[in-house]
Amino acid sequence: MSPADTTHRSLRQSLGQFATGVTVVTARGLDGRFVGLTVNSFASVSLDPPLILWSLTADSKLLPAFSACTHFAVNVLSADQADISRRFAGARVDKFSGLDLRVGAGDTPLIVGCCASFECRRETQHDGGDHVIFVGHVERHHRNKEAPAPLLYYGGHYRNLAPQT
């Protein structure tokens, strides 16, 4: 094992100490089919104008689709949607099969039952080391008051929020 491998593993372990929400980012692909993947690198950038960001590995097979799309959606998964996160993290061919969906801005798929969704126009993208950072202008958003708490990821595992004290 090279020193760089050790450093990367150590950095990943340290970064894993920061709890994140879990999202599925979706769009309509170059061939007209829906595309999507699990993402935990999601953040708010600005309220005025309303901007968000997320990142994708630079060697992802989905990079051409997201680089070419005009719109994408960020679906914030709820605590009971870990199976959806796993589905979109894997190499399954039709990740959308059997899911309850509705179509949002720019013809993007929205996953029903999520805590929140953000329908975005792709504003720009930037190289960020081994990732590409996408910035989206939020055109519409929805908060599901009926959904359970959000799904969290911490230390390499899915987690749930503890009861409020």
Tell me the domain boundaries of the chain: 3-14+21-86+99-158
Residues of the chain under the 70 pLDDT cut: 1-6
Superfamily holding 3-14+21-86+99-158: Electron Transport, Fmn-binding Protein; Chain A (2.30.110.10)
Q: Cis bond leading into 49, ω under 30°?
A: yes
CA atoms of 82 and 93, how far apart (whole Å): 18
Rounded to an integer, what distance in angstroms lies between the CA atom of residue 130 and that of residue 154?
22
Q: What is the pLDDT of residue 13?
A: 87
pLDDT of residue 69: 96
pTM over 0.75: yes
pLDDT for res 2: 63
Q: Which amino acid is at 3?
A: P
